[in-house]
Amino acid sequence: MKSAAKLSRRNLLRALGAVVSLPALESLAPLTTLGHPRSNRINRSAYFYFPNGIPRGIWHPEQVGPKGRLERLNEWMSPLESFKSDLLIPTNIWTPKGNGHSAGTATWLTGQGYNRREVNAGGVSVDQLAAEKIGHQTLLPSLELSLKGEGFFSNSLPRNTLSWSGTGIPLTREVEPRTVFDRMFRPPSGGASDRSVMDLVLADAKSLRHRVSRTDQARLDEYFDSIRALEKRIEFSEIQSRRMAQDKALTDSLVRPSAGIPGDHQEYVRLMMDLIVLAFWSDATRVVTFMLDHGQSNRYFNFIDNVKGTWHALSHYGNASGMTEDDDGTTSWDSVESKRAMFAEVIRWHHRQFAYLLGRLKSIEEPQGGSLLDNSMLLYGSSLGDGDAHDERDLPTLIAGGGAGTIRTGRQLEFVEPTDLSKIHVSFLNRLGVSVTEFGTADQDLTELRD
């Protein structure tokens, strides 16, 4: 077998024709990360945004032990219970400037205010600052992903934008799984080909097996199998979408999905999350944003048992008449309590999808130590606190992942005073090797992440 010291990622990629990125392998030459020379652990960051806030009171843990140790989450966060040792739940997080459905969405990652006249969120977003500094180390500097939004404000720019370039330009989002997949794995000359990515590289990949260790051979097999399986799921979703679009018997109440987007919303969410896993696993990028809908989503969640009405209408749970301007004019609820419970159920459903992502990341061990989850930093939250109050207080915020050994998880961080969300942004940047002392409205990091 060729010496590991002489087998580099660059040579291996050249042998593969640069068709796919590769996961970390023990047979490759030692990796180097910006700010941490010759470190064996790569760190990544991802930002998961959901709209409309929460019903106040469903985010705090049910039982917390000494020094904030998470002992039991509440019933609405129960899908995340098995991952509580991988979580940090900070309280009293707020944003001093950008708030609400539009300005809050647009500035969630800039930490500034929003200028409607100039369509400007106050500066570069944290993900794009990271991409500018470390993006040259990967195939793609960053990925900006979103689910295709539903509702009246689906075309509202500030409600559909998290990422802003240094010139104040909002970046477009990828909403179709096939497009995201092709960006990461299709060769530049074969973007229009119908051949499987794995068909394109299989012969070359097999010829390289003798050049890596047996452990790496197994790791490559698992990785390539995951790519092929994801390809098949995307192809199946596209076929199903085309069939539904051609079905003349569909009723007016069933909205036909766009080509390439699964009709099953959970399948859609999980396809996108699997793509994030592959992006990190392959080192295609180390920076991702993912919008779970636009900032004032009117998506129906009637597919959840005992839930009716749109997401935004449910968020205004203080009025159950169904006659407010936020309602659809046809749906009403028995009581404020039942409407609030339905809103909480929508939040729990999203926790279940986030738990799926955490499970996938945690299942993949890296040769440099730890799992993909251990070597990632995930920020999951909303730009509204209580959805009915439309406030910026105590924003639902959750941090997952160990940040390559730099974050001590399994705790609640209970802050007495309002704590700037931008402190988390500063902390993530520094852990990626992007040295900053201030960002947005914060002039320091959140030291409690490691204390």
pLDDT in tens, 373-382: 999 999 999 9
Between β-strands 87-90 and 397-400, what pairing exists: parallel, antiparallel or unpaired? antiparallel
Instruction: Output the average pLDDT for the chain.
Output: 84
Q: What are 262-297's pLDDT values in tens digits? A: 889 999 999 999 999 988 988 889 999 999 999 899
Going by pLDDT thresholds of 50, 70 and 90, the confidence category of residue 357 is very high
The SS3 assignment for 182 reads helix
pLDDT score at 197: 60
Any idea which fold 31-175+261-449 has?
Answer: Alkaline Phosphatase, subunit A (3.40.720)
Beta strands in 133-272 (DSSP E): 143-146
Is residue 239 within a helix (H) or strand (E), and if so which, with residue range?
A: helix 214-246
- Is residue 21 within 8 A of residue 214, CB to CB? The reply is no
pTM score of the predicted model: 0.83
Q: What are 88-116's pLDDT values in tens digits? A: 999 999 998 878 888 999 999 999 999 88
- Is residue 384 within 8 A of residue 52, CB to CB? The reply is yes
Residues near 395 by Cβ (< 8 Å), separated by ≥ 6?
53, 93, 94, 95, 381, 382, 383, 384, 385, 421
pLDDT score at 243: 54
pLDDT score at 441: 94
Bridge-partner residues for 290, per DSSP?
Answer: 48, 145
Cα–Cα distance, 319 to 2 (Å, whole number):
69
Cα–Cα distance, 23 to 278 (Å, whole number):
9
Assess whether pLDDT exceeds 90 at residue 6: no
Residue 365 is classified by DSSP as B
Q: What are 121-150's pLDDT values in tens digits? A: 999 999 999 999 999 888 889 999 999 988
Q: Tell me the DSSP string of 403-420.
A: TTTT---SEEE--SS-EE
Residues near 311 by Cβ (< 8 Å), separated by ≥ 6?
51, 52, 293, 297, 298, 299, 300, 301, 346
Assess whether pLDDT exceeds 50 at residue 5: no
Place of tokens 């080509």: 259
Residue 388 is classified by DSSP as T
Assess whether pLDDT exceeds 70 at residue 62: yes
The SS3 assignment for 307 reads coil
Between β-strands 70-72 and 411-413, what pairing exists: parallel, antiparallel or unpaired? unpaired
Residues near 346 by Cβ (< 8 Å), separated by ≥ 6?
301, 304, 307, 311, 314
Tokens matching residue 196: 């499987």
Assess whether pLDDT exceeds 60 at residue 15: no
Going by pLDDT thresholds of 50, 70 and 90, the confidence category of residue 257 is very low
